[in-house]
Structure 1
Amino acid sequence: MVSERQHQIKIPKGRKIYFASDQHFGSPNTKESIIREKKFIQWLDEIKPDACALFLLGDLFDFWFEYKQVVPKGFVRVLGKLAELADAGIPIYFFIGNHDLWMRDYLKQELNANIFKEPQRFLMNDKRFLIAHGDGLGPGDYGYKFLKRIFTNPVAKTLFYLLHPDFSIWLGKMLSERNKYLSGNEEDSYQGDGKEWLFQYAQAMQEKEKFDYLVFGHRHLALEKKVGEKSTYFNIGDWIKHFTYGEFDGFNFSLKTYCV
């Protein structure tokens, strides 16, 4: 389901909007994750001077569950840097992914982030965007769609909430690492238009509404494919292997790779 609302962002001259997705901080272990976290923070420092908004398209953490008074420990570097950007007046738009399905209001309270659970329409200057994490969209992916219905069921969430955080967070991390249906990204190369569900979803949505750009994460590949004469599907890639991001300067959207 796509939100009926259309958000509007005016981009001042010389400013840009940046997009990043699928950092999966915490995976595969704390030591290796911190190396990637520091690289991401360095990128955030570099975009800060000209960023007018930052879009995080989901799976910032490899596992995330919020109790009323408890969140997973760690990630202080990246959360602190995001708070710095928010305090500098750079709005943050966060799309919940399949690894942070149980996010509540922590980032809203701490970063004043805009939190979305479903695809959103944006008008940026005169360009129409459809933006989402991408999990469960399009045909296929039935194994994940079945599990998502279970994990988002209020009864299942309540039962998980009743577990002690030490056990529940350990269990969640283990399942996140081992279950391919949770990751949804087991293929490391483009599988062809007939097997790429997000590409098919982008095609179908473009035919309905004529978006200029349809931008998703989830797939862990940096992709740019035409889905209409004036419409392009972009996948942002990830910060595990590819270190890619999206950049919109008010006129054109482009994919880039961050190299230190």
Structure 2
Amino acid sequence: MNIPEGKKIYFASDNHLGAPTPAQSLPREKKFVKWLDEIKHDAAAVFLLGDLFDFWFEYKTVVPKGFTRTLGKLAELTDSGIPVYFFVGNHDLWMDGYFEEELNIPVYHRPQEFTFNGTTFFIGHGDGLGPGDIGYKRMKKVFTNPVAKWFFRWLHPDLGVRLAQYLSVKNKLISGDEDVTFLGEDNEWLVQYAKLKQESKHRDYYVFGHRHLPMEIDLGDHAKYINLGDWITHYTYAVFDGKQLERKIYEG
């Protein structure tokens, strides 16, 4: 992708809309929609790196209630010709065609490589990557198993969505009972993952979410690991102007 003069590429992740309650989530959703509205004048593309929703599951004819402002604004962007790319997170990994069909937004379930103006990006949500986190990796295999998804789909949406929302809010990261702190390069699994990928092929930027902690770490060889933070406490995002990637805080 070549970025036209005066245009930029924007990256954001981890909104967890709907948590801990729809009412408490609504101000954050309005803030995010305001940001989308402000960047549309110079956006060449928008990348959303997962956990946009605190829970999302697509039944055959039903999707979770709410998020009308966000979905409508995303539709406005794509209808105007601004491409939006979505990477599923661990809270909204059960996507199955709705974004593609209704919003014209491609959905990715694995990290992908993109090149903008000759600069190479490796982009993904970040869950289950790198060493460690064995318990979650096992759980994710269950969550993504077609048989498990088939059984969950047979739950009435009122029961299934309520159950999933209850379990999701129990996540200490979302409830605010756990501080997110930097663990050091040797203990940050995504940093280790980026370093390992860099050994086999050079990329200029590795951009992820998931950790809810804004980070920028030099990987050597003119490469950087970027974590986008979140839209719960940090309201951070990244923007690439065709030459360099910059992390910013939205104050709107």
Q: Which residue of the partner structure matches residue 31 of structure 1?
A: 23
Other-structure match for 1:188: 180
1:86 and 2:89 equivalent?
A: no
Structure 1 residue runs of 5 or longer lacking an equivalent are: 1-8
Alignment of 1:1-260 (within 5 A): 9-179=1-171, 187-260=179-252
Give 3-state SS (helix, strand or coil) of 1:130's partner.
Answer: strand
* Partners of 2:226 and 2:144 in 1: CA distance: 27
CA distance in 2, matches of 1:174, 1:102: 17
Scaled by the length of structure 1, the TM-score of the pair is: 0.94
Deviation above 6 Å: which 4+ runs of structure 1? none
Contact 2:19–2:174 under 8 Å retained in 1: no
Once the two structures are TM-superposed, the CA of residue 114 in structure 1 deviates from its matched residue by 1.2
1:100 shift after superposition:
0.6
Mapped to 2, the partners of 1:231 and 1:179 lie a distance apart of 33
Given that 2:20 and 2:174 are in contact with CA atoms closer than 8 Å, whether structure 1 keeps it comes out as no
Once the two structures are superposed, residues 183-233 of structure 1 have per-residue CA deviations (whole angstroms, 9 ceiling, x without a partner) of 9x9551111112110011011111211100000010101100011120000
Residues 173 and 179 of structure 2 are in contact (CA less than 8 Å); yes or no, is this contact kept in structure 1? no
Please say if residues 66 and 106 of structure 1, whose CA atoms lie closer than 8 Å, have aligned partners that are also in contact. yes
1:49-84 Cα distance to aligned partner (Å, 9 max, x none) = 000100000000000000010000000011001111
Name 1:3's counterpart in structure 2. none
Q: Secondary structure at the match of 2:62?
A: coil
Q: Residue 150 of structure 2 aligns to which amino acid in structure 1?
A: T
Aligned CA RMSD, in angstroms, stands at 1.6
Taking only the aligned residue pairs, the percentage that are identical comes to 58
Whether the 8 Å contact between 1:41 and 1:77 is mirrored in structure 2 is yes
Q: Distance in 1 between matches of 2:178 and 2:199?
A: 28
